Amino acid sequence: MNAPNLIRTCSIWRSLEVVGDTPTLLILEASWFGERRFEGFRQRTGLLKALLSSRLKKLVAAGLMKTRQYSDAPPRSEYVLTEKGRDVYWTSLMMLRWETEWAKSGKISVKLTHKTCGKVFTPEPVCGSCGETISAFDVEWREGPGLGLMAPVYSRRRQQRASSEPATSLMDEAAQLMGDRWASLIMRSIFTNLNHFDEIRQDTAMATNILAERLRWLESIGVIRQQADPEAPSRSQYRLTRKGVEYYPVLLMLMIWGDRYYASPEGAPVVLFHKSCGKALDPQVVCSCCHEPIRPQDVTFELDEGAA
Alpha carbon 2 to its chain centroid, in Å, reads 33
**Domain range summary for the chain, segments of one domain joined by +:** 7-304
Percentage helix, strand, coil for the chain under 3-state DSSP, each rounded to 5 = 40, 25, 35
Q: Which element (helix H / strand E) includes 15?
A: helix 11-19
Buried b or exposed e, range 62-88, using 16+ CB within 10 angstroms: bebbeeeeeeeeeeeebbebeebbbbb
Instruction: Judge whether residue 96 has pLDDT over 80.
Output: yes
- Dump pLDDT digits (tens) for 256-302: 999 999 888 888 888 999 999 999 999 999 999 999 999 999 999 88
- Dump pLDDT digits (tens) for 124-156: 999 999 999 999 999 998 888 877 776 666 555
Whole-model pTM: value is 0.89
For residue 106, the model assigns a pLDDT of 53
Do residues 125 and 277 make contact, with C-beta atoms less than 8 angstroms apart? no
